[in-house]
A and B are shown apart, each in its own frame.
Chain A
């Protein structure tokens, strides 16, 4: 069965420290992986998708098929990065998405 695991419910880091939000997935086919972010009182919004290999707001994520991971990283956290982050998997040939339970990132001053 397809599954997305985000092992940390809460991650607290100090401003300027590196951040890594973990995401592991279970899927036997070719996955499409995404990171979504939800700032306080705002809607879920797409942050990154693995096929784009882009950097958004300083965040990057690399798909590691060997480790079935798609960790989100940022070298220097900012207070405005504090939010809820969800990893999501879309299975090939479908329009369906499976979300992880999310990690709340708190960046402390």
Chain B
């Protein structure tokens, strides 16, 4: 089945130790998104790509970086995780401008110790 896959589902990292979360899609969608969701809060958009064009939200901390080496893969790098970065990280895709719905991955729950 075509889908959005996130690995790992659970990630534990130490305070200040860089961590990378990955997302892949078999949908061949042009747009890929990263959201951060903390407990009882709305998913918050961190950044998105339209193809290779990167769009950063103004309030996304510099500590968060992203890479999209090809259509299928997108990575979220947290350079120096703090305790406040513990959250669920959601990857999503969207086909194109004409198709507004998003497809979500299952999420990666990040714990910072």
- State the CA gap A4–B6 with chains docked (Å): 27
Q: Given A44-B90, A95-B94, does the pair A49, B42 have CB atoms closer than 8 Å? A: no
A39 at the A/B interface (Cβ < 8 Å)?
A: no
Q: How large is the interface on B (under 10, 10 to 19, 20 to 34, 35 or more residues)?
A: 20 to 34
Task: Tell whether, in the assembled complex, residue A46 and residue B45 are in contact, meaning their CB atoms are under 8 Å apart.
Answer: no
Q: What's the least CB distance linking B72 to chain A, in Å?
A: 18
* Residue interface bits B23-48, CB-to-A below 8 A is 1, else 0: 00000000101010000111111001
Q: A43-B106, A43-B107, A95-B50 are in contact. Are A49 and B100 (CB under 8 A)?
A: yes
Residues of A within 8 A of B81 (CB): none
Interface residues of A (CB under 8 A from B): 4, 9, 32, 34, 36, 42-46, 49, 51, 86, 90, 95-102
B: which residues have CB within 8 A of A?
4, 31, 33, 35, 40-45, 48, 50, 55, 57, 90, 92, 94, 97, 100-107
